[in-house]
């Protein structure tokens, strides 16, 4: 089974790129983030034409997460227990589904913005609630093949950014954020792609400004974190950097894993 995650940065803008890649890469399941549309605006027909079912949650032109699967789409869950919201906003940041016997979550972790912004404690609270829920899922079924996939908005190590000096006193690399990421690792979820894509200089995101992509000035912030059963089945992982090129790309590249049956 081939499973991927991709922050598409507006699915309506990039539906042709996304579906073209799904076909070329022979992907069975794709978790998407930043779809930036309401449920009734999601372009399901191009996915259906390729044999994919889609589960999506989106409330506005911000956020939005989805899972597209051609191997089944069951037990869809929007949000996880204890998931906080930003003030009164109902943000679409988490959706789970069982696809081909594998439990998958598409996650768009809050950005945090700056170290002084109230979005940072919101982000940390969000990650803490995710850690508690995910640990509970594993406790309930230790043999569950489960993956937490998406845009984490965290660079867990110094080699995951192109220049730490540039990110001094910034979010994404702060110790509280990194500690929150490690807490999810400690709960039993391993980065299953890094062994196949060791750094430094291996990134998943490049800002559109200042020619960051051709200058290789990026960040590794998109991850597939797998439970022990999921990780044991991974035979390959890659960051599909080529998809950051071309006309109207997302600022993120897809992250892809292969699972043995």
Binding residues: 7, 34, 151, 153, 251-252
What DSSP string runs through 210-234?
A: GGTTTTT--B--EEEEE-HHHHHHE
Residue 98's φ and ψ, nearest 5 degrees, are -100, 125
Question: Does 145 sit behind a cis peptide bond, omega within 30 degrees of 0 on the bond before it?
Answer: no
Which positions are catalytic?
108, 151, 252
| Binding site as annotated, residues for Mg(2+) | 7, 34, 151, 153, 251-252
Angle between helices 175-186 and 119-140 (to 10 degrees): 10
Q: Which residues make beta-bridge pairs with 239?
A: 255
Q: Is the dihedral of CA 105, 111, 112, 118 positive or negative?
A: negative
Residue 119, classed as helix, strand or coil, is: helix
| Buried-exposed string 84-122: b where 16+ CB fall within 10 A, e elsewhere | beeeeeebbbbbbbbbbebbbbbbbbbebeeeeeebbeb
What's the CA gap between 157 and 220, in Å, rounded? 9
């Amino acid at each position: 089974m081939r499973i991927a995650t991709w922050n598409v940065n507006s699915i309506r803008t990039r539906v042709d790129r996304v579906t073209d890649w799904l076909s070329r890469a022979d992907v069975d399941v794709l978790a998407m983030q930043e779809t930036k549309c309401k449920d009734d605006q999601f372009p399901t027909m191009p996915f259906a034409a390729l044999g994919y079912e889609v589960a999506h949650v989106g409330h506005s032109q911000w956020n939005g997460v989805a899972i597209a699967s051609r191997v089944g789409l069951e037990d869809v869950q929007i949000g996880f227990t204890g998931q906080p919201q930003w003030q009164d906003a109902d943000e679409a940041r988490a959706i789970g589904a069982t696809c081909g016997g594998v439990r998958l979550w598409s996650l768009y972790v809050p950005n945090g913005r700056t170290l002084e912004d109230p979005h940072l404690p919101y982000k940390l609270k969000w990650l803490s609630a995710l850690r508690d829920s995910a640990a509970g899922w594993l406790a309930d079924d230790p043999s569950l093949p489960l993956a937490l996939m998406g845009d984490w908005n965290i660079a867990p190590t110094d080699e995951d950014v192109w220049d730490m000096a540039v990110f001094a006193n910034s979010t994404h690399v702060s110790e509280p954020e990194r500690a929150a990421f490690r807490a999810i690792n400690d709960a039993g979820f391993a980065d299953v792609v890094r062994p196949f894509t060791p750094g430094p200089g291996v990134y998943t995101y490049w800002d559109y400004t200042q020619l960051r992509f051709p200058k290789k000035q990026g960040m590794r912030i998109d991850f597939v974190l797998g439970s022990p059963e999921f990780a044991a089945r991974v035979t390959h992982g890659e960051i599909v950097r080529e998809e950051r090129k071309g006309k109207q790309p997302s600022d993120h590249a897809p992250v892809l894993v292969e699972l043995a049956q």
